[in-house]
Structure 1
Amino acid sequence: MSKQETVLSVKNLEVAFNTRGGLVQAVRNVTFDLKAGEALAIVGESGSGKSVTAQTIMRLIPTPPGRINGGTIDFKGQDILKKSEKEMEAIRGKEIGMIFQDPMTSLNPTITIGRQITEVLMKHQNMNNTQAKERAVEMLRLVGLPNPERRFAQYPHEFSGGMRQRAMIAVALSCDPTLLIADEPTTALDVTIQAQILELMKDLQHRLGTSIIMITHDLGIVADMCDRVIVMYAGKVVEEGTKEEIFKNPQHPYTRGLLRSLPRLDQPKDEPLIPIDGTPPNMMHPPKGCAFADRCENAMRICAEQDADVTTHSPTHASRCWMHSAV
């Protein structure tokens, strides 16, 4: 597959959830592309729609209460949203792997780590038990687990948090997927293990040519790991660009707010971090204008009345803000 070939193309995706309180509009008109071998970060506060977007790509949204109201998800030339559940079972694990936020709840506690890998291999790669075991041990070794032959026969509760996350990566990568989705893969880990997991993912990306979508709120991970960045707020993409464009030349007030709240090594010790005042809007009743208007120090009257069009700053950099649309 060519380095510049588009692996995934999400267009105008709309996802909502029926709740007792009303309809929650979780993802609103989200559009982005992912190239072969590229690492893409999707960042934003909790509730911005990051994980729902990822789970929709995997077709893991429970329906009901969830429902996909519009859009397309084109994966290697095929619209995932038109696939049957049986067809999706052939894609999950084989073509698209996913690392979930909490490995303890994602791994089956009653089945050994080795069997959880061999089941995937026997289903998707048509391996026999002996071949699958050899491959599973190889994967456990690849993700840096010591004594993989012994770990193969152990259960998730016998692993530390970092080891469980490595095991999850081994499961996700066992079939050499084209796309790996990592949903907050280092949230529950200490910083030393975080660094090891990220280094492992980068190494595997370069060795296997895997495309990665990294769902995170940690901009430090983005700087270390990713090529491009999508910033989401209230279910919408408010800015996207290369890592350098987002960090050095952010254009949306929300992106600048996220960066101001991030500790910096060159920041004086007595200089406080600047939080973003206010809270995200209620997605059962999303604003008709810019969702960030109530928290934005530069908000104008039109911001509350109508959402801005997308402004292109470079071939790879765009944002949705009236400060640019008005120019």
Structure 2
Amino acid sequence: MGKTILEVRDLRVSFEVYGGEVEAVRGVSFHVCEGEAVAIVGESGSGKSVTAQAIMRLIAMPPGKFKSGSVIFEGRDLLTISEKEMQKVRGNKIGMIFQDPMTSLNPTMTIGMQIMESLIKHQRLRKSAAKARAIELLAMVGIPDPETRMKQYPHQMSGGMRQRVMIAIALACNPALLIADEPTTALDVTIQAQVMQFMKELQQNTNTSIILITHDLGVVVDLCDRVIVMYAGQIVETGTKWEIFKNPQHPYTKGLLKSLPRLDQPKNEPLIPIYGTPPDMIQPPQGCGFCSRCESAMRICERQDPEWTAISETQSVRCWLQSAGEKAAAVVGGKEADA
């Protein structure tokens, strides 16, 4: 793996709301290497998208605020540079594909103008050169008759086409890092496969680093090298994709995998859901965030945040079940046990 292109350290993001302060991201740290694809997975509300928006400095302040941490990209902390400097990074060196292309694209501008905008601003291209590059990008993402599509508006395109346009805009300036936030949401299975295949080819051909944010572990296997599992605003497990799929350690990761449909699953066998609901992030739990939903929860899980345990050189988990030691008396299945 190449050199580290992005390093997030102890990132904490909260939002002031009517009922108090929502702690959306709580001490997240991870890195992305050059040419690497990293998946951040977890259910809705786990802090995935807020983490991505924090990297891009797209958090509205107020109500949002950065409580601590740093986002180091090309040797600079993106959280401390000026907005003017950040505009040179956003859409230029770091591209982002947003969840919903219909609300992310400007309905009053043609597709062509929306792609050309960043080329003219960041690449300093003349209008004719920007138009030629925009047509090239539309063809590259698999949109037929790109010259005609350039003149159309977002509402004249299907969901899959709009998502491809979003990818073209994100790639316009050849970014070193691409953040894809739920890029296959609301797309049918065939279009999902096409979008993911395109992103895989992009990574192989241009050595672009990718952060894929998703709640669907099924789209991770073909594209990503490493997987980061988030729950309740924290990273609970990280490892290579094969370690996460074949040897999951955290009860939440195991629950995510059990809830996935499988080709070898008996026809009438139901999927196993993760029962319960995520914790209230206005008052985050004192201990493990997954404690109230975990069948293996112990007393120490309620009282103290789990420590990181290394399973291998590349896999780590934040769970008391893997933490050795004589921490406290705990209860597993109604019986006393050492934590």
How far residue 273 of structure 1 moved from its aligned partner, in angstroms, is: 1.0
Alpha-carbon distance in 1 for matches of 2:312, 2:33: 18
Task: Answer yes or no: is 1:232 the counterpart of 2:230.
Answer: yes
Alpha-carbon distance in 2 for matches of 1:216, 1:282: 21
Show CA shifts across 1:105-125 (max 9, x none).
Answer: 101011111111111001000
Aligned to 1:136: 134
How far residue 270 of structure 1 moved from its aligned partner, in angstroms, is: 2.1
The count of corresponding residues between Structure 1 and Structure 2 is 325
TM-score by length of 2: 0.95
Alpha-carbon distance in 1 for matches of 2:191, 2:323: 43
Aligned to 2:311: 313
The gaps in structure 1 that reach 5 residues or longer are: none
Aligned to 2:52: 54
How far residue 68 of structure 1 moved from its aligned partner, in angstroms, is: 0.3
Aligned to 1:166: 164
* One-letter amino acid of the structure 2 residue matched with residue 285 of structure 1: Q
Aligned to 1:126: 124
Aligned to 1:287: 285
How far residue 156 of structure 1 moved from its aligned partner, in angstroms, is: 0.8
Show CA shifts across 1:133-153 (max 9, x none).
Answer: 110000001000001111111
Aligned counterpart in structure 1 of residue 217 of structure 2, from 207, 216, 219: 219
Any residues of structure 2 matched to 1:1-327 within 5 Å, and which?
3-326=1-324
| Greater fraction helix | 1
Secondary structure of the structure 2 residue equivalent to 1:324: coil
- Identity in percent: 66
How far residue 28 of structure 1 moved from its aligned partner, in angstroms, is: 0.3
How far residue 326 of structure 1 moved from its aligned partner, in angstroms, is: 3.0
How far residue 154 of structure 1 moved from its aligned partner, in angstroms, is: 1.1
Secondary structure of the structure 2 residue equivalent to 1:323: coil
User: RMSD of the TM alignment (CA)?
Assistant: 0.8
Secondary structure of the structure 2 residue equivalent to 1:289: coil
Alpha-carbon distance in 1 for matches of 2:306, 2:102: 42
Secondary structure of the structure 2 residue equivalent to 1:180: strand
* One-letter amino acid of the structure 2 residue matched with residue 126 of structure 1: R
Alpha-carbon distance in 2 for matches of 1:298, 1:47: 23
The 10-residue stretch of structure 1 (265-274 or 172-181) with the greater mean CA deviation from structure 2 = 265-274
Alpha-carbon distance in 2 for matches of 1:66, 1:294: 27
How far residue 232 of structure 1 moved from its aligned partner, in angstroms, is: 0.3
How far residue 267 of structure 1 moved from its aligned partner, in angstroms, is: 1.2
How far residue 59 of structure 1 moved from its aligned partner, in angstroms, is: 0.1
TM-score by length of 1: 0.98
Secondary structure of the structure 2 residue equivalent to 1:224: coil
Alpha-carbon distance in 1 for matches of 2:128, 2:231: 48
Alpha-carbon distance in 1 for matches of 2:72, 2:21: 26
Off by >2 Å, runs of 4+ in structure 1: none
Alpha-carbon distance in 1 for matches of 2:90, 2:139: 23
Aligned to 2:331: none
Alpha-carbon distance in 1 for matches of 2:116, 2:257: 43
How far residue 224 of structure 1 moved from its aligned partner, in angstroms, is: 2.3
Alpha-carbon distance in 1 for matches of 2:277, 2:110: 43
How far residue 84 of structure 1 moved from its aligned partner, in angstroms, is: 0.8
* One-letter amino acid of the structure 2 residue matched with residue 145 of structure 1: I
Alpha-carbon distance in 2 for matches of 1:18, 1:39: 33
Alpha-carbon distance in 1 for matches of 2:306, 2:106: 46
